[in-house]
Chain A
Amino acid sequence: MIWSIIYAWALMIIFCLGFSAGYYSYISIKRKFDEEYGKKGLLLKRIIHGIVYILLLSLVHEAISVRLGETTLSKELESITFLFLLFIGAPIFVDITLSLYKIAKKH
């Protein structure tokens, strides 16, 4: 009983940490885009950023499985890593989609 409570608590903490880290990483990435690159050519950079992000995700999976194999530990570690990355990735894709939508609407 006590172990399952600790397990749930640990999961909650990890989730919260993941959310915070992901949120602040996203804000920092977005600020960098908005401040440094201006509006011209920004969309292309964002799309390339998205592609790089997807490629990095596949490397994360490989990085874990090449060291730990297909074990329970590797799957748990992978889930946590993807959770962290999801918090950065999801808003980036929303941002790219919104940018595309705005451009499509303009034309």
Chain B
Amino acid sequence: MTPLTTFTIIFIIVILLLVAEIEHRAVVAMLAAILSVYFGISYGLFSYSDIVEMLNLDTVLFIVGILILFETLSESGFFDFIGLYLLQKLGSKYALSIIMLIVLVTLFSGFSSNITVMLIFGAITFKFAESLGFDVKETILVEGLQTNVGGMLIPISSIPALIIATKTHMGFNEFMKVSLPFIFILTTITVIIAWILYYRHGPLEKRLKKTISVDPWSAVEKPSSLYRSLLIFIGFLLAISLGSNADLPPSFIAFFFVVISFLLSGVNPDKVFRKTDWSIPFFVGGFFVFVGGLERSGVLDRIAENLVDLLRLDPCLSAPLLLLICAVISAFIDNIPVVLILYPIVEDLVQVMGINPLPFYWALIVGGNLGGNLTTFGSPSVLIGVRLLERKNLTVSMAEYVKKCYPIALTQIALSMVILSTMVAAGYL
């Protein structure tokens, strides 16, 4: 067997395991890494010392730092507090409450993990629905879709965004210059479509007159911890946005604030460590090594050959098409491997062809995030939303999901293609 054949077989095994979800995705990534290392070294494609470089340690450590900081902020009760505060203030205003829920889910997904946001806002939405008499099923599903839109807000909002921003050294300002128009337009359209489809007829039943009395502070264990965690997180965001000028690696900045957070926030580090999703760094790290193996064995070149014709087209057309491809693949496979595999291919191709890489990087970020909205299993937050509904005996079949969510999900993808194309044509990217 040639290295190309062997690595193609490993590639097929990994894709099959990810599609079928037979094993945990982190286990699949580690299996892929182990096989890549064994065969890569045996074939002489790379040596042990190259593995550290292939692992992209800086990116993996940055991800770990971000996960811990997100969890610290969540543990301080910040998200619960904001949600309950809104419930208290807007509990009787039908339209405003629904719009605020959708907007806040989008916004908070930019600053926390989508799963955390979905869990917190899922619980809050059930309370709102009880008070205002709107259909909770549609609202939870729309919120699930919006968590993935929020995943494009800042470079640390989602793993695909983080990987591309770190690898391309894209600063906060540069990133938000592009992400904000996307998020503003997509959220506005989502609110409009959701309103027309689900809420325009007003409450489902006669509005319940009772007002919900909740004390937002009841969700906060120590108010001082909340203030301090929030201040530290804002400090981190400022530092990371200025860090590129100071030539400091992102992982250093993240870990500096992790230490500061543990020392000063008053949040119990043990609780934070327990709640942190450790499978993500293992998954990303394992996949980095695997992609390194694919690159050195020539598998990525073979895939790239199929993309050359696409990238030869006018970027106004090729970037949106890449976005569509990335979205369709991300509907069935986790968006992290999709971006990890497509990124080096696109990077090499744009270098060889001498074209502006930014439209294509954004195609990967947007496509990777929005693609998860096409299936109930494509994105963890949508899946969490569906599970929350199931707990209340509100099952969502794939057919129902298609009927209820596709008008929004497909519009978001189509609109993103138009926005990206317009940005390229206008020279904005």
Minimum distance in angstroms from B342 CB to a CB of chain A: 23
Q: Is A21 an interface residue (CB 8 A)?
A: no
Closest Cβ of chain B to A96, distance in Å, is: 13
- Alpha-carbon separation in the docked complex, A52 to B20 (Å): 11
Residues of B within 8 A of A52 (CB): 13, 16-17, 22
Listed stretches A6-14, A43-51, A98-106; interface member: A43-51
Interface size range on B against A: 10 to 19
CB distance from A29 to the nearest CB of B (A): 9
Is A67 within 8 A of B42, CB to CB?
A: yes
CB pair A48–B9 under 8 Å, yes or no, is no
- How near does chain A come to B22, taking the closest CB pair, in angstroms? 6
CB atoms of B20 and A45 under 8 A apart: yes
A-B contact count (CB 8 A): 38
Given A63-B38, A66-B39, are A44 and B20 also a contact pair (CB < 8 Å)?
Answer: yes
Task: Determine the chain A residues whose CB is within 8 A of the CB of B1 once the complex forms.
Answer: 58, 62
Chain B contact surface mostly: helix
- The answer to whether A59 has its CB under 8 Å from any CB of chain B is yes
Shortest A43–chain B CB gap in Å is: 11
Instruction: Please tell me if A56 contacts chain B, counting CB pairs below 8 Å.
Output: yes
A55 within 8 A of B: yes
| Residues of B29-55 whose CB lies within 8 A of A | 35, 38-39, 42-43
B355 at the interface (CB under 8 A from A): no
- Is there contact, CB below 8 Å, between A55 and B12? yes
Whether B39 and A62, one on each chain, are in contact in the complex, defined by CB atoms closer than 8 angstroms, is yes
| Interface pair B20/A59, CB less than 8 Å apart | no
CB distance from B40 to the nearest CB of A (A): 11
CA A46 – CA B403 in complex, angstroms? Answer: 29
Contacts of A45 in B (CB 8 A): 20-22
**On chain A, which size bracket covers the interface?**
10 to 19
For B35, what are the chain A residues with a Cβ–Cβ distance below 8 Å? Answer: 59
Residues of A contacting B19 in the complex (Cβ-Cβ under 8 angstroms): 48
Q: How far is the CA of A44 from the CA of B10 in the complex (A)?
A: 20
Residue B6 lies at the interface, judged by CB distance under 8 Å to chain A: yes
Tell me how far the C-beta of B107 lies from the nearest C-beta in chain A, rounded to whole angstroms: 35
Q: Which residue of B lies closest to A59 (CB)?
A: B9
Residues of B near A49 (CB, < 8 A) are: 20, 22
Beta-carbon contacts of A62-89 to B below 8 Å, as 1s and 0s? 1100110000000000000000000000
Contact (Cβ within 8 A) A58 B22: no
Q: Which residues of A contact B (CB under 8 A)?
A: 44-45, 48-49, 51-52, 55-56, 58-59, 62-63, 66-67
A-B contact pairs, 20 of them (CB 8 A): A45-B21, A45-B22, A48-B20, A48-B22, A49-B20, A51-B16, A52-B17, A52-B22, A55-B12, A55-B13, A55-B16, A56-B13, A58-B9, A59-B35, A62-B1, A62-B6, A62-B39, A66-B39, A66-B43, A67-B42
Where the two chains meet, the residues of B that have a C-beta atom closer than 8 Å to any C-beta of A are 1, 6, 9-10, 12-13, 16-17, 19-22, 35, 38-39, 42-43
Query: Which 8 residue pairs across A and B have the least CB separation, nearest first?
Result: A48-B20, A66-B42, A62-B1, A45-B20, A55-B13, A48-B16, A55-B9, A52-B16
